[in-house]
């Protein structure tokens, strides 16, 4: 099994985007990229920890490739927004690919460059690519939010502008 870590705004949405993909073993919502050890959701939202909301994906590389995971990631974020994602604003909602090894780093950079050159977006791709650091799982009430609270989740996802953007751009 391998790990992939992505930050793409609200981790509820990111978790749902990956959870049912064949070859994905598990997805955890959490925080990474900052300095504070064991941050809470409230601390991360205060923008004092340096962490972003992220997901940690455990996957079987024989069933799903890292390239396929990158494709899912790019199709569910606005890679041109440096200040958050959709209705979620702030440093904790920035889009970041956290690589776990040199191969992931190379593939992440190549996929970003390919997307930037594709002409799909008028603005440049600003999604960051950084080395993975300690991942802290979010509080249990965040896990599988989209399944535990399907109506609220759908309303949030629609209201945030994420669904509209995805339909328009892809």
| CB-based contact 154:24 (threshold 8 Å) | no
What is the C-alpha separation between 13 and 127, in angstroms, rounded? Answer: 17
For strands 52-59 and 84-85, give the pairing. Answer: unpaired
Active-site entry in 4, 7, 10, 64: 10
Measured CA distances, 107 to 39, 88, 119, 124 (Å): 30, 27, 19, 18
| CB-based contact 136:39 (threshold 8 Å) | yes
Active site residue 13: no
What is the C-alpha separation between 29 and 98, in angstroms, rounded? Answer: 14
HSE-CB of 67 using CA atoms within 13 angstroms? 7
Cβ partners under 8 Å of residue 75, min gap 6: 166, 170
Active-site amino acid positions: 10
């Amino acid at each position: 099994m391998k790990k992939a870590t992505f930050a793409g705004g609200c981790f509820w949405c990111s978790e749902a985007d990956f959870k049912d993909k064949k070859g994905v073993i598990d997805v955890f919502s959490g925080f990474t990229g900052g300095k504070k050890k064991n941050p809470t959701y409230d601390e991360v939202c205060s923008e004092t920890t340096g962490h972003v909301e992220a997901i940690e994906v455990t996957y079987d590389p024989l069933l799903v490739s890292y390239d396929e995971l990158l494709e899912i990631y790019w199709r569910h974020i606005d890679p041109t927004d440096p200040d958050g994602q959709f209705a979620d604003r702030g440093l904790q909602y920035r889009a970041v690919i956290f690589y776990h090894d040199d191969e992931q780093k190379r593939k992440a950079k190549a996929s970003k460059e390919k997307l930037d050159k594709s002409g799909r977006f008028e603005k440049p791709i600003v999604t960051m690519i950084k080395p993975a650091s300690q991942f802290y799982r979010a509080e249990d009430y965040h896990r599988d939010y989209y399944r535990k609270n399907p109506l609220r989740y759908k309303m949030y996802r629609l209201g945030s502008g994420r669904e509209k953007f995805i339909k328009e751009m892809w």
